[in-house]
Amino acid sequence: MQPRKKLKHILLGNALKSNDLEGEKLGPLWGVPIMASDAVSSVAYAIEEMLLVLVPILGLAAVKYLGLVTSPIILLFLVLAFSYSQIIACYPNGGGAYVVSAENIGKTASLVAASALMIGYVMTVAVSLSAATAALVSAFPGFRPYRLLFALLFLCMITLLNLRGMKEASKMFGIPTYAFILIMLALIVTGFVKLFAGNLEPVDYSQSMPSVTGGVGTVSLFLLLRAFSSGCSALTGVEVVSNAVPSFREPSQKNAKDVLFILVGIIIVIFGGSVILVTSLRIIPLEGKTVISQLGYAVFGHGIMFYVLQFATSLILLLAANTAYNGLPTLLAILADDGYVPRQFMHRGTRLSFSNGILFIFFLAAFLLIIFQAETHYLIPLYAIGVFLSFTLSQTGMVLRWIRVKGKGSWYKMIINGLGALMTGGGTIIVFVTRFSQGSWLLAIVIPIIVYMMVRIKKHYQFVGQQLKVDDFMAHYHKSVSQDKNLCIVLVGGINRSVLKALNYANLITSNVVALNIATDEAQSEILKKKWVDTGIDVPLEVIMSPYRELIEPVEEYISKKEENLKPGDMITVVMARFMEESWFANILHNQTTYFIMQRLRRHRNVSTVLVPYIYSNVFMQKTESKKTEI
Q: What is the pLDDT of residues 319-338, one digit of tens each?
A: 777 777 877 888 888 898 88
Residues 453 and 481 in one domain: no
pLDDT band for 622, please (50, 70, 90 cuts): very low
Residues 315 and 394 in one domain: yes
pLDDT band for 621, please (50, 70, 90 cuts): very low
Residues 549 and 606 in one domain: yes
Is 141 a residue whose pLDDT tops 70? yes
Mean pLDDT, residues 58-85: 86
Residues 6+ apart with CB under 8 A from 7: none
pLDDT band for 490, please (50, 70, 90 cuts): very high
Identify the residue with better confidence: 100 or 619: 100
Q: Record the pTM.
A: 0.69
Asked if residue 2 belongs to a domain, the reply is no
CATH number at residue 511: 3.40.50
Give the pLDDT of residue 623.
Answer: 46
Asked if residue 594 belongs to a domain, the reply is yes
CATH number at residue 15: 1.20.1740.10
Residues 6+ apart with CB under 8 A from 238: 39, 77, 80, 81, 84, 260, 263, 264
Identify the residue with better confidence: 543 or 534: 543
Asked if residue 3 belongs to a domain, the reply is no
Angular region, 4: left φ>0, alpha ψ -120 to 50, beta rest: alpha
Q: What is the pLDDT of residues 504-530, one digit of tens each?
A: 899 888 889 999 999 888 888 888 888
Identify the residue with better confidence: 316 or 531: 531
> In angstroms, rounded to a whole number, what is the distance separating the alpha carbons of residues 191 and 183?
12
Where helices occur in 27-106 by DSSP H, the ranges are: 28-41, 43-58, 66-90, 96-104
> In angstroms, rounded to a whole number, what is the distance separating the alpha carbons of residues 451 and 15?
35
Q: What is the pLDDT of residues 196-238, one digit of tens each?
A: 988 888 887 766 555 555 555 677 788 888 888 778 767 766 7
pLDDT band for 166, please (50, 70, 90 cuts): low
Residues 346 and 285 in one domain: yes
Q: At what angle do helices 96-104 and 107-139 cross, to 10 degrees?
A: 160
Structural domain count of the chain: 2
Asked if residue 284 belongs to a domain, the reply is yes
Residues 152 and 127 in one domain: yes
Boundary-marking domain end, from 415, 433, 458: 458
Asked if residue 466 belongs to a domain, the reply is no
pLDDT band for 479, please (50, 70, 90 cuts): low
Percent of the residues in the chain that have a pLDDT greater than 70, as a whole number: 81
Residues 25 and 120 in one domain: yes
pLDDT band for 186, please (50, 70, 90 cuts): very high
Strand order, beta sheet including 541-545: 541-545, 512-519, 487-491, 572-580, 607-615
Is 631 a residue whose pLDDT tops 60? no
Residues 24 and 147 in one domain: yes
Boundary-marking domain end, from 435, 458, 481: 458
Residue-range definition of the domain harbouring residue 180: 8-458
Give the pLDDT of residue 5.
Answer: 55
Residues 338 and 376 in one domain: yes
Give the pLDDT of residue 264.
Answer: 83
pLDDT band for 472, please (50, 70, 90 cuts): low
Boundary-marking domain end, from 414, 436, 458: 458
Residue 407 CB: number of other CB atoms within 10 A?
8
Identify the residue with better confidence: 76 or 628: 76
**Element at 430 (helix H, strand E):** helix 410-434
Q: What is the pLDDT of residues 368-425, one digit of tens each?
A: 888 877 676 566 666 667 778 888 898 899 999 988 887 777 888 888 888 888 888 8
Is 52 a residue whose pLDDT tops 50? yes
Residues 439 and 497 in one domain: no
Residues 14 and 76 in one domain: yes
Residue 269 CB: number of other CB atoms within 10 A?
14
Residues 253 and 324 in one domain: yes
Of 306, 344, 439, 331, which Cα lies nearest the Cα of 394? Answer: 331
Asked if residue 464 belongs to a domain, the reply is no
Residues 254 and 380 in one domain: yes
